[in-house]
Amino acid sequence: MVGAAGGGGVAAERAVRWERSRLRHQDALRAAGFLPWGVRRRDRTRLRYACFTPAGPLVRSALLLLAAGYAGWVALGHGTGANVLRVTGFLLLVLVLSTNRASVTDDGLSYDVTGLRQVASFGFVPLWAVQDVAAGSRPDGWPRGPGHGGPWPGRRRVHVRYTDQYGADRVRSGWVRRPQQYVDAVRGGQVERKRKHPRRR
């Protein structure tokens, strides 16, 4: 297992450490900027990995259903050209704002939703809490967990197994580009943090 010797301690101490890591992670994301390819050189050491993934299947299916329903409404003669443009623009805006961003910093990883990324880091996991990470199919014996993003050409699923704030075994999954680079970013970040903060005996 990778990084199983991460943060222990009582629940309260673990929760405080978790929150501090999350705040540092958000600071790193803000410093790096919104677009993964627009990261300034001085911030690349803090942002180890970032990629966009289209909205998940649930959001895409709901938008497709709305578009089909409105198309039927227009076919019955109840819509105007201006209304069609407004509805199309609205659906595209929702699709863009529902885009997921997978990020890995020195302090943790997250799967943010574009339209809400200034509010919270969804699926945040500090690197010190990660037990292991795997690309492809979820390994046997790993618990099921929430997923982020959805299938898309050039994207592959990755799974992160970790211990949550209360000591429970959890898994977070997401769809990313260059999955091996994502795995290396998580594992490399753990190794470097261990070197900077060796365990006390």
pTM strictly above 0.85:
no
- How far apart CA 123 and CA 145 sit, in angstroms, is 10
| Residue 182 and residue 158 in contact, taking contact as beta carbons nearer than 8 Å | yes
pLDDT of res. 200: 44
Q: What tokens appear for 192 in the block?
A: 């470097």
pLDDT of res. 126: 94
Give the H/E segment covering residue 16: helix 11-32
| Residue 161 and residue 131 in contact, taking contact as beta carbons nearer than 8 Å | yes
pLDDT of res. 106: 92
Phi, psi for residue 142 in degrees, rounded to 5:
-85, 140
pLDDT of res. 66: 84
pLDDT of res. 131: 96
pLDDT of res. 150: 83
Spans of the chain, pLDDT less than 70: 1-9, 34-45, 79, 81, 114-122, 189-201
| Residue 20 and residue 127 in contact, taking contact as beta carbons nearer than 8 Å | no
**What are the tens digits of pLDDT across the range 41-78?**
555 557 899 998 887 777 778 888 888 888 777 777 77
Q: Where are the beta strands (DSSP E) in 106-193?
A: 108-113, 125-126, 130-135, 147-148, 156-163, 169-176
pLDDT of res. 24: 92
